[in-house]
Structure 1
């Protein structure tokens, strides 16, 4: 590779802590490592020019789970685990707003809404049946009732083809780009050396530290290495229960007179849409091709994208001549459970991964936990 004497001076060849992954978790971990020990040298390596994972490619939902998703979680985990995870998400949202600054990330407490098409009538019936119970077990977390039926506002939002809607006022939405800019700014202010376009290809643990190898041919030696690589983790540590999971998204051109406002969910969180800058952002539908979406391929698929556009035209903007501005994918990390993995693999190597599609909600707290773990 063509590296000069000056390049060597610009790129650090050693650090006490190297964090791999410049998304919410990695940035939070680096920030908290410097907050705990300002004299500690911390380098953050991000393989993309912007974060390559889900942090810059999500929908910007500050959410903790729709009612149908929570009911589904209770079928696979006990009540205590589910409530603890929701509590962590809710506290994580509050902590993100504190760390990044609510005004810096364009946060709007616009509320959350779950909608139901006629073919989801059984799911809606289950939600109505369990609503009082869910509200009861969540009251210690939120202090009041969370979910309520809200059919009357379906027409207000200009939606069609939905029979029912359930709302909660605790969810919100934010600008993911501004969120990352705020976290990067904070990291640099704390003294974190942030390097973008630095893809880690491999690492090797040595008696006196860990040698990190970049695709560019450069190397950096560190005392400790933290991987905050979520869906890409299998490239560096095979065998962990972290499945790369593709989420597909589209966004329209600006829509005149758009009435949509808030964070909308459907079918256990598999569909989600919102307003942003006078546009509609819509994503999901991976349940239609669940096995195909367990992939590190970041290209969009015509099958999912065509379905999303049909859904948009039928239900969200049925009376508009809709034009799609952009389509993209984000890579999540999922697994057998929705609990994140924050653990040490060796004394020098740690991971903070498997955010389960809830990185906005829990990413800053997971990063904080990871930084504390690496200090021990």
Structure 2
């Protein structure tokens, strides 16, 4: 395995998200102090919370909507992903077929409606987030995976997707990697976005609509009251009729939440901007985001200034800190560096400007869920399992419809009616995660107990 502490490509690398390392970042809002009242409180300043605040204000402009964020807007999971967006609200069509087969047509339609609304909202609020509607590619990295692509192709075609199945030469003509044996190219309703700029744009839109935002105001305690909830922060209290918890994997004092979502850490690197000559080596003229078909997959995309964002090394840390110290250790990225140079050996002369980790709100069904709390006075929305950039808008809609008792289409489907099941806690979770991630690492090539374990975990209903 490559030692990043001596590798020339990793010298001077900053252990901080590339997206957030930007002078255009907005100034923070003030901390919550004293007593504040609201008709709706949103807890969490990531994508889901921001969409929820905006949609609530759009629906009822006179309602006082207050959002509190423990740190800074976008500095949690929403400022750390690769930034590939797609039409699915279910972590992909195959996962929808696995989890909710009888509702798949309705879920596909809801996904299309959501992404069309996503595009409209960017235009309506003038959000400049480097959006590129350039499609996405799933690349097979072995002959064995070609049949998986074929099955995926047939499934997408059956549900009206404009997809193209590429052979080895065609796949490598799109993205020149010697690993790619073929690919599935989805051409519409997918692309890439600058996630921090998206979150900052949503923040600006929320403020313009009249949402009050408090940053550096972590939720410390919740008190159930006869006509609402009291949310205590270090310097104040927010008294509210309803609460929308958009807190992902953060621990907020509701134990049941942390039994339904699990904090796993994904890791990502950003190269320096590629020169025109380096870009010519990889092709990539259509600039699609890509995933490969390995069990422990890698993925990548290009930025506006032609950096490659490359990620896919997932780990688990006992205690589930949202940003553990390991994210700032060069050795954490050894496997990811090796995977990058196997994927793009012709880019032997690139350097990595940034490397970072971020939390994924993994849940048992691999897709967003909504769960009411405090006898319906609050809802929790999370569980995107890594596919939340665009699906977060739908999550906000679903959560608000649940919270306010609206008769909306998704409320009659199993995505709302059936919640996400428990994930074993404590030491059992740690042991299971450690064995699973050890199995994922090399399962495709090595087989044996690793594949057997993954089959066992899938049989329990967990997405892999």
Counting only pairs closer than 5 Å after superposition, residues 308-347 of structure 1 correspond to structure 2 as 308-316=336-344, 318-345=346-373, 346-347=375-376
Cα distance change of structure 1 residues 319 and 8 upon mapping to structure 2, 3 Å threshold: closer
Given the alignment, which residue of 115, 118, 135 partners 1:111? 135
Given the alignment, which residue of 50, 65, 71 partners 2:73? 50
Scaled by the length of structure 2, the TM-score of the pair is 0.70
Partner of 2:323: 298
Cα distance change of structure 1 residues 42 and 149 upon mapping to structure 2, 3 Å threshold: same
Given the alignment, which residue of 51, 54, 68 partners 1:31? 54
Given the alignment, which residue of 114, 117, 122 partners 1:95? 117
Partner of 2:457: none
Is residue 375 of structure 2 the alignment partner of residue 356 of structure 1? no
Partner of 1:167: 185
Q: Which runs of 5+ in 2 are unaligned?
A: 1-29, 406-464
Residue 202 of structure 2 aligns to a residue whose secondary structure is helix
Question: Deviation at 1:180?
Answer: 1.2
Partner of 1:230: 248
Question: Deviation at 1:83?
Answer: 4.9
Given the alignment, which residue of 220, 235, 239 partners 1:201? 220
Question: Deviation at 1:227?
Answer: 0.4
More strand by share: 1
Q: Distance in 2 between matches of 1:82 and 1:271?
A: 27
* 237-246 or 14-23, larger mean C-alpha shift: 237-246
Question: Deviation at 1:44?
Answer: 0.3
Question: Deviation at 1:236?
Answer: 2.9
Cα distance change of structure 1 residues 249 and 90 upon mapping to structure 2, 3 Å threshold: farther
Question: Deviation at 1:103?
Answer: 6.3
Q: Distance in 2 between matches of 1:275 and 1:319?
A: 14
Q: Distance in 2 between matches of 1:49 and 1:9?
A: 13
Question: Deviation at 1:283?
Answer: 1.2
* 91-100 or 320-329, larger mean C-alpha shift: 91-100
Question: Deviation at 1:150?
Answer: 4.7
- Pairwise CA RMSD: 2.8
Scaled by the length of structure 1, the TM-score of the pair is 0.85
Partner of 1:4: none
Partner of 1:280: 308
Residue 39 of structure 1 aligns to a residue whose secondary structure is coil
Partner of 1:266: 292
1:73-109 Cα distance to aligned partner (Å, 9 max, x none): 64x4353345544444443222222112286222111
Residue 255 of structure 2 aligns to a residue whose secondary structure is coil
What is the aligned length?
355
Residue 270 of structure 1 aligns to a residue whose secondary structure is coil
Cα distance change of structure 1 residues 78 and 344 upon mapping to structure 2, 3 Å threshold: closer
Q: Distance in 2 between matches of 1:87 and 1:236?
A: 36
Question: Deviation at 1:311?
Answer: 1.4
